Amino acid sequence: MTDEPVDAAPDTIRAAEFFAGIGLVREALQPLGIQVVWANDIKKAKRDVYAANHDASHFQLDDIRNVTAKDLPSDIELATSSFPCVDLSLAGNRRGLIGSESGMFWEFARVIEEMQEQRPRVVLLENVHGFATSHGGKDLSDALRQMHELGYSCDVIAVDARHFVPQSRRRMFIVGVQGAVPSGAQSGIPPISGVRPRWVQRVHALHQHLDMHHLTLPRLPNGPQDLSSVVETMDSEDPRWWGKDRQAAFIESMSPIQKARMEALRDTEDTSWRTAYRRRRNGASMWELRRDAIGGCLRTTGGGSSKQALVELGKGEVRVRWMTPLEYARMMGAGSYTVTAGTPNQALFGFGDAVVVDVISWIGQHYLLPVLRPQKVLQAA
């Protein structure tokens, strides 16, 4: 491994960010005293956004299959890995960990294995809920077994980003700990809680033959109930609003139920917002408004139902447009992020493929710090 000096406070936690994307893991962890000293991704467009917001001198733009332990600095205490979800998502091809995208988990595991006696104390994995059901649960079992063989005791939790931002974005996390588990952690099957619904409890129950633990975590916050905090202020004459013909086609594609929902919101005295997705129903492309007032899960901009429109309703008016990069940033908890690097679609792709800053920050504060700097947490309390 390289031993490149990095200026840091004595108790700073050194981290490596695999599949770094545009750098939202770093955005979340840096205020907690966790310094990312190495990052990697294969997409130049994502690296450009990363570099517009963070020092990218330690960013290795390369296929992870070309990465070896020698490329990483020494004394890494935390490794994060938001490996691709394409083959695990219910909306994807479900090839699982044998797929060319999600199978990159094994390349991450290979690098960790190569680190030998200098393996990070903690590993944080993030992916979609479909990871738990891929190939009947075999893919998750294989991943947990691999972590066990690398010397990690694992905890599995699930967090929906709607507890922090106005976006329904359900993700699962695996926290692997090498050596002593954090104070208060227990073995056995965890009780059902906000971060461990029944399906997560079942994951723990099925893998008691491996090193597993669970740490009691605080209750998740309620989260915002509407989109008012993310909507970009825009004049009614702004050209980004769709013209009459396009808006008429949007409304015409709706089912009677969807039109009734839209009209009820249009005729109120207050302005409100809804997100809309394009769906295939009975062979036809149709627009559907989300029932609640938060956004659907942001996805990479690949067509179909991947791209969300914003609908402004109230006082007898309806306006429709695509969501903007700034709104995507705010939905991901990164409202202060520079989004001008690359094209607007590249920005949308980067945010749709990222983690929510507030979620990672919450995990960092309540899980990663208690493991890596327990004394600091006790002093703060």
Q: Which residue has the tokens 């690949």?
A: 302
Q: Does residue 8 register a pLDDT over 80?
A: no
The pLDDT assigned to 263 comes to 97
Task: Dump pLDDT digits (tens) for 338-350.
Answer: 987 778 888 888 9
Q: Where are the domains of the chain?
A: 13-223+355-380, 244-349
Task: Dump pLDDT digits (tens) for 35-59.
Answer: 999 999 999 999 999 999 999 999 9
* List of residues 6+ apart from 68 with CB closer than 8 A: 111, 114
The pLDDT assigned to 51 comes to 95
The mean pLDDT of 188-213, rounded to a whole number, is 97
Task: Dump pLDDT digits (tens) for 213-265.
Answer: 999 999 999 999 999 999 999 999 999 999 999 999 999 999 999 999 999 99
Dig out the tokens for 4 from the structure.
């490149």
| Secondary structure class of 79 (helix, strand, coil) | strand
Distance between CA atoms of 296 and 124, rounded to whole angstroms?
25
Tell me which of 123 and 99 has the higher pLDDT: 123
Strand (E) or helix (H) holding 50: helix 44-53
Please give the model's pTM, rounded to 2 decimal places: 0.93
Q: What is the mean pLDDT of the chain?
A: 91
- Cβ contact 84:335 at 8 Å: no
At 101, the pLDDT band (50, 70, 90 cuts) reads confident
The pLDDT assigned to 7 comes to 47
The pLDDT assigned to 96 comes to 72
The pLDDT assigned to 92 comes to 53
Nearest to 164 by CA among 268, 28, 42: 28
The pLDDT assigned to 347 comes to 85
Nearest to 155 by CA among 214, 82, 216, 219: 214
Fold classification of 13-223+355-380 is Rossmann fold (3.40.50)
Task: Dump pLDDT digits (tens) for 279-322.
Answer: 878 778 899 999 999 999 998 755 444 689 999 999 999 999 99
Nearest to 370 by CA among 175, 191, 207, 190: 175
Angle (nearest 5°) at CA 18 between 351 and 153: 115
Report phi then psi at 291, rounded to 5: -65, -45
User: Is the CA virtual torsion 163, 165, 169, 171 positive or negative?
Assistant: negative
Distance between CA atoms of 313 and 322, rounded to whole angstroms?
15
Q: Does residue 98 register a pLDDT over 90?
A: no
Burial (CB count within 10 angstroms: exposed 0-12, middle 13-18, buried 19+), residue 36: buried
Q: Does residue 364 register a pLDDT over 50?
A: yes
The pLDDT assigned to 99 comes to 74
Q: Does residue 85 register a pLDDT over 90?
A: no
Please report the DSSP string for 195-227 in residue order: SS-HHHHHHHHHTTTS-B-B---PPPP---SSS
Tell me which of 331 and 346 has the higher pLDDT: 331
Neighbours of 154 (CB within 10 A): 23
